[in-house]
Amino acid sequence: MKRVASGLLMAMALGCTTAPADKGEPEVRERGAGRCDAAAAQRLVGRERSDALGAEAMRVSGAARLRWIAPGMMVTMEYREDRLNLHLGPDGRVLKIACG
């Protein structure tokens, strides 16, 4: 009975986790320390999602963290001055770039 109860609790806990971002990549990547400047990365709007694009966005914005946001994806609402958010359209292209 204890095994069944512990298995049930584990299954319930796993049901509360969020799904990973598209393409199996983690939602948040740590890169270093810095304050985000989204204005510097606006020229990247319209480009297709890729690791190279993420690295370039972080380099030009100075952000320490990157978060890809796919359509309909649930995200936390806390503001992080060191995080760059790349909002994607259904085609995988960047629609909006913002800090937070």
Q: Is pLDDT at 99 greater than 80 in this prediction?
A: yes
User: What is the DSSP secondary structure assignment for residue 43, as one 8-state letter?
Assistant: G
Measured between alpha carbons, how far is residue 20 from residues 23, 25, 74 in Å?
Answer: 8, 7, 11
Nearest-angstrom CA–CA distance, 83 and 23: 20
Domain count, the chain: 1
pLDDT at 98: 97
How confident is residue 95, by pLDDT bands cut at 50, 70 and 90? very high
| Residue 78 structural domain | 2-99
Nearest-angstrom CA–CA distance, 88 and 56: 16
Q: CATH no. for residue 38?
A: 3.30.10.10
Torsion of the alpha carbons at 24, 27, 33 and 36, rounded to the nearest 10 = 120
pLDDT digits (tens, 9 = 90+) for 32-44: 457 999 999 999 9
Using DSSP, state whether 98 is helix, strand or coil: strand
Structure pTM?
0.67
pLDDT digits (tens, 9 = 90+) for 23-73: 444 444 445 457 999 999 999 999 999 999 999 999 999 999 999 999 999
